[in-house]
Amino acid sequence: EVQLVESGGGLVQTGGSLRLSCAASGFTFDDYVIGWFRQAPGKEREGVSHINNNDGSTYYADSVRGRFTISSDNAKNTMYLQMDSLKPEDTAVYYCAGAADTPTMEFDPYGMDYWGKGTLVTVSS
């Protein structure tokens, strides 16, 4: 059974930090692109960051570049998102998602093979 299980969400003040984790099982972690989407109330789900477990390449949305850091421990089948300098606009449910690394793969909400159930991040002003 495929599972993506997020943890690490919570309430933090502006400027604070949180570390999200995504534990994966049931598929070949090394062959996947794994990352995070987020969805705030009344807004569309947006891509935040992802990492290619094949070659280690990473992507960050402009809104989080320089503040968030994604990493992956292939031995533990776990991916992490270190979030620093958090802002109220970072408040959202954060979802872990994965897609097989293929030449045509695009990391968008319609192209994911697997999803976690989400973890809530709330940044107070």
Q: Tens digit of pLDDT for each residue in 54-98?
A: 999 999 999 999 999 999 999 999 999 999 999 999 999 999 999
Q: What is the pLDDT of residues 6-39, one digit of tens each?
A: 999 999 999 999 999 999 999 999 999 999 999 9
Radius of gyration of the chain from its Cα atoms, rounded to whole angstroms: 14
Average pLDDT over all residues of the chain: 95
- Among 103, 92, 93, 99, CA closest to 115: 99
Provide the total of helices (H) and of strands (E) in the chain, helices listed first: 0, 11
